Amino acid sequence: GTTASASTSGAQKIAYVEIDSIMSQYTYWKDVTKIIKAKEANIQRTLAGKQKAIQTAALNFQQNAQANKYTQAQAQQIQASIQKQAQDADALQQRLGAEYQSEVAKYNKALSDSVHNYLKEYNKDKKYAIILAKSGDNILYADPAYNITNEVVKGMNQAYKGMGK
């Protein structure tokens, strides 16, 4: 990447990194994204399975009830059982959703920490006064000469590979 240099001796050096590029090119984040998507798919499969079982039980109950195959006590017992399954499925959905959100938050914090820690190390010799995060249009204009994203992504990927994943 290109590195900005101060035009006058007293000027502070500024650089920026594009967050979108870090998220799309940082190997750690690609790995995490796979983990998150797999977890989400697992949750959806689990909940869909529960939902299908409840629907099947409800349908069977309805058909058998219409055919007068149950005593009133049996019918009430089966209805209560199906209701309990539905409540358990709702509770499971709440729990898995909360666990998922917590895990995503943990990964987001780890990403943020790794970017901050890397930039701290990266800036030891570069001595930028400020390194900005460019995300969306939060910076209206920035000279591309101040963009250190490629350098940072490359360094972060090397550091991540060095950790042996």
Q: What is the pLDDT of residues 50-74, one digit of tens each?
A: 999 999 999 999 999 999 999 999 9
Strand partners of residue 61: none
* Euclidean distance between CA atoms 14 and 134, whole angstroms: 12
Mean pLDDT of 13-40: 96
pLDDT at 130: 93
Amino acid identity of 76? Q
Q: CB of 156 within 8 A of CB of 26?
A: yes
Helix/strand/coil percent split, the chain, to 5: 70, 5, 20
* Residue positions counted in the chain: 165
pLDDT at 165: 53
Query: Residue 136's pLDDT band (boundaries 50, 70, 90)?
Result: confident
Whole-model pTM? 0.78
Mean pLDDT of 37-57: 98
Query: Residue 6's pLDDT band (boundaries 50, 70, 90)?
Result: very low
3-state secondary structure of 139: coil
* Euclidean distance between CA atoms 7 and 26, whole angstroms: 31
